[in-house]
Amino acid sequence: MPDVSVLSVRLYGEEIGTITYVGNEKTLFAFNDAYIENRERPTLGLQFKDSLGDLITDFRPYKIKLMPYFSNLLPEGHLRRYLAEKADIHIDREFFLLWVLGQDLPGAITVVPADGEEWPDEAHNVLEGEAAKEAAEDAMRFSLAGVQLKFSAVQSASGGLTIPTSGVGGNRIVKLPSREFANVPENEFSMMSLARMVGINVPAIGLIDVRSIGNLPDGIEKIGRQAFVIERFDRNDDGSVTHVEDFAQVFNVYPEDKYKKASYRNLISVIASESDQDDVAEFFRRLAFNVLIGNGDMHLKNWSLIYPDRRNARLAPAYDFVSTIPYIANDKSALTFSRTKEFTGFTADELAHLSAKANLPKKLVLDTAQETVSLFMERWETEKANLPMHKDVVETIDKHLTTLPIVTGK
């Protein structure tokens, strides 16, 4: 492999910059002149804007890991290990993982080898030549991040789901059963269904029989009977894409710091400054809802911004709502609300403190939270026997609700 390799970073199909491997596991990102000089340029991410809204163009080199924005495009956990093994690439060599997986990333970004450069044999652990190329292509069949194995999928005319053979072009995310926790797909389907019932913006969702999914990795069907399916809100019916970024990208932190480095106060401050009061209300609707179901996993990567007009940020639709308390006793909020992570600390006083610190209308914040509580309690009582949750989930949430001051008024 030459000392220098270059990946072309494209946004909506147009090159906006490059990531250059300069040797010794170091990489450097740079915007190209055309993007810098374009006054109507589409937004790549908020972290590339300075305090005056101007484009930041000076970046330091990174070693082994890519800069956080691009590192956050890569899978995490089990899926990352699985893909790295498939591609025969060391799990930490992010430049080469992005090389392999860059054709189907979240949002409107694609990353491809500049000038059609061939897969570098030296990127692989053992394989060389055609075997190395085949390993890289095999890994491309799966592309999106998550603790459960997720993949981008297409829906066939018969209603079944198939993994795209190239890993490109899927308009659904399919989440298979978890090896660690029982009935997670059913849990997530139920929580997302309840979220829609209380007015939260939820994409189309479904539960499907794992046996109806084509091209599964060997043995996956033995883990559980059902898979959770959610429509990709960054993929449109006409084949176009919409750009998104998660809040780990916004705050320029690596995925392993997704439970750190920021609070919900920080998130809502960004949303309030970039969007409008409808999104502010939606944020607090989701925050209250996840307290009610006991979801301790709403970290930075489970909140995203979307760019429907390519330039201005809005709060993206909801995703990854799971009640974690049936699996993790005494679980807490993933991030600090304003002063606490305790679900029992999510009180009117905590919300008032958060609204004051974020310079938000107190009445909007408190009214939205209380309305969400009222709607949830009404729906919970009528739907908990109908949704496909395990009885342990129902019993745990029932008990949890009795401890919350926002429910009991105590």
Q: Which residues are catalytic?
A: 297
Residue that is written with structure tokens 């198939």 in the block: 162
Give the pairing type, strands 161-162 and 213-214: parallel
Alpha-carbon distance of 306 to 163, in angstroms, equals 25
Q: Which helix (H) or strand (E) holds 255?
A: none
* Number of neighbouring beta carbons within 10 Å of residue 400: 20
Q: How far apart are CA 64 and CA 66, in angstroms?
A: 7
Which region, left, alpha or beta, applies to residue 117 given φ > 0 means left and ψ of -120 to 50 means alpha? beta
Q: What would you report as the CA-atom Rg of the chain, rounded to the nearest whole angstrom?
A: 22
Q: What's the gap between Cα 170 and its chain centre? A: 16
Pick from 104, 43, 48: nearest CA to 73: 104
Cα gap 162→390, rounded to integer Å: 27
